[in-house]
């Protein structure tokens, strides 16, 4: 049921973002009610802003009415930060999905927060550049969400995490002020490092509307190895020992027995029955060092109990191997309403299109969404209500939004 106050709030938000881009329909509210923690709570209004100025105006409005505001990317977060536990307004940022600039000479880029990680990686790779942070959710999670969570991922050991690539941000503060921290260049070393303060702040300090990212040259060669072990413990024990072999892998992924069972059922990898644990090891660099390095890693795997090792040398071999370590797009994450392109035109589709169908599919999300979080963080971005509440997570169950 939409109350008079919710109707008033909707009208005020619509006056800022446009009628088509704010909704209080129950389907749209359900879609904005949860994240990968499976906690769920209905917001009053969902808005799809297009600019920092619109977000600023919504936050000023929210401050006047002490209304909580929740920024939201792809809702794949495992900390509960995007769940509107106190109702209010959800700002779905996936309409802000333009790659604004890729500066090849200076190896930096500027993006809007709704660009997905894999779309960005693909674009920079076309230019011989590399954005290393690579969470397993890269195909659907947004760069805004990655910055807010300081996402790590498969390449963290060699290349670091999201924090190591953010050089500057445009941020809308809870009161609605738009500020810039850091810079679009690497050389910005004086003064307080406010950029680092914002990275990992889970939406509690402000909403990122532009993100400046550092890039590095794309390594010319890549080699991947699958090592099979007779138990998850054997694989886990071998992993740190491989690092001592003197080769730093670009990615090192542990696969447990339950995951191997799923792979056996779903993928043509032909894994022997004795294998109950595995490691995927990827090296990158120049061709010669990759070839030599993979031989060293193969030897180290055998010396540390591997039943078998398999090389994946061609892109096709690698593509067959990596999906086993990458989840498919979860059902809790509906496709974004725009695909990110370099300076793409703005989306003209409103939130109402097909929202009933999307909500229906979202309602069935529970069976496929992973849950590992142990606490949920509720953030209220209204100045007069800037609390952060931590709560214990119940056992995972399908989301039942509160109205």
Phi, psi of 208 (to 5 degrees): -80, 130
| CA within 13 Å, CB half, 311 | 15
Residue (of 364, 361, 390) closest to 375 by Cα position: 390
Q: How far is the CB of 177 from ligand FAD (least distance, A)?
A: 15
68 binds ligand FAD (CB under 6 A): no
For residues 310 and 255, give the distance between their C-alpha atoms in angstroms, rounded to a whole number. 15
DSSP class of 40: B
Q: How far is the CB of 178 from ligand FAD (least distance, A)?
A: 13
68 or 81: whose CB is closer to ligand FAD? 81
| CA within 13 Å, CB half, 160 | 9
Q: Which stretch binds ligand FAD (CB under 6 A): 16-24, 143-151, 232-240, 251-259?
A: 143-151
327 binds ligand FAD (CB under 6 A): yes
Place of tokens 């998850």: 232
Place of tokens 């914002």: 198
For residues 323 and 154, give the distance between their C-alpha atoms in angstroms, rounded to a whole number. 13
Q: How far is the CB of 156 from ligand FAD (least distance, A)?
A: 8
- Applying CB under 6 A, among 56, 67, 142, 224 the residue interacting with ligand FAD is 142
The size of the interface with ligand FAD (CB under 6 A), counted in residues, is: 35
Region 160-219 residues binding ligand FAD, contact defined as CB under 6 A: 202-203, 207-208
77 binds ligand FAD (CB under 6 A): yes
131 binds ligand FAD (CB under 6 A): no
- Applying CB under 6 A, among 45, 69, 86, 151 the residue interacting with ligand FAD is 151
Interaction mask 246-285, ligand FAD, x per CB under 6 A:
----------------------------------------
198 or 229: whose CB is closer to ligand FAD? 198
- Applying CB under 6 A, among 16, 24, 36, 365 the residue interacting with ligand FAD is 36
For residue 174, count CB atoms less than 10 angstroms from its CB and return exposed for 0-12, middle for 13-18, buried for 19 or more: buried
Q: Which helix (H) or strand (E) holds 69?
A: strand 69-72
């Amino acid at each position: 049921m939409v109350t008079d106050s919710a109707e008033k709030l909707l009208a005020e938000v619509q006056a800022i973002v446009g009628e088509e881009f704010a909704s209080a329909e129950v389907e749209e509210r359900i879609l904005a009610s949860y994240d990968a923690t499976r906690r769920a709570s209905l917001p009053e209004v969902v808005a799809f802003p297009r600019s920092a100025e619109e977000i600023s105006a919504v936050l000023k409005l929210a401050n006047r009415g002490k209304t909580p505001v929740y920024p939201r990317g792809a809702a794949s977060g495992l900390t509960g930060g995007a769940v509107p536990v106190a109702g209010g307004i959800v700002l779905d940022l996936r309409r802000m999905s333009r790659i604004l600039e890729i500066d090849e000479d200076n190896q930096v880029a500027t993006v809007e927060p709704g660009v997905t990680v894999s779309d960005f990686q693909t674009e920079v790779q076309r230019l011989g550049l590399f954005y290393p942070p690579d969470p397993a959710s890269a195909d659907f999670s947004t760069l805004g969400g990655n910055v807010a969570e300081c996402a790590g991922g498969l390449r963290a050991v060699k290349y670091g995490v999201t924090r190591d690539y953010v050089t500057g941000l445009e941020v809308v503060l809870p009161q609605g002020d738009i500020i810039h921290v850091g810079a679009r260049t690497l050389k910005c070393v004086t003064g307080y490092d406010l950029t680092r303060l914002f990275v990992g702040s889970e939406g509690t300090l402000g909403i990122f509307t532009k993100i400046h990212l550092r890039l590095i040259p794309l390594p010319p060669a890549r080699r991947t190895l699958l090592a099979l072990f007779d138990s998850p413990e054997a694989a886990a024990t071998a992993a740190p020992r491989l690092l001592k072999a003197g080769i730093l892998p670009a990615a090192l992924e542990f696969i447990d027995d339950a995951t191997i069972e799923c792979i056996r059922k779903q993928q043509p990898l032909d894994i022997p029955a004795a294998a109950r644990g595995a490691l995927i090891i990827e090296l990158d660099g120049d061709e010669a060092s990759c070839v030599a390095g993979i031989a060293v890693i193969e030897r180290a795997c055998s010396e540390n109990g591997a039943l078998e090792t398999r090389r994946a040398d061609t892109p096709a071999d690698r593509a067959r191997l990596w999906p086993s370590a990458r989840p498919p797009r979860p059902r809790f994450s509906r496709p974004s309403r725009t695909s990110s392109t370099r300076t793409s035109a703005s989306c003209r589709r409103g939130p109402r299109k097909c929202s009933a169908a999307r909500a229906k599919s979202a309602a069935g999300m529970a069976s496929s969404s992973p849950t590992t979080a142990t606490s949920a963080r509720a953030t209220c971005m209204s100045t007069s209500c800037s609390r952060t509440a931590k709560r214990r997570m119940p056992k995972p169950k399908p989301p039942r939004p509160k109205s």
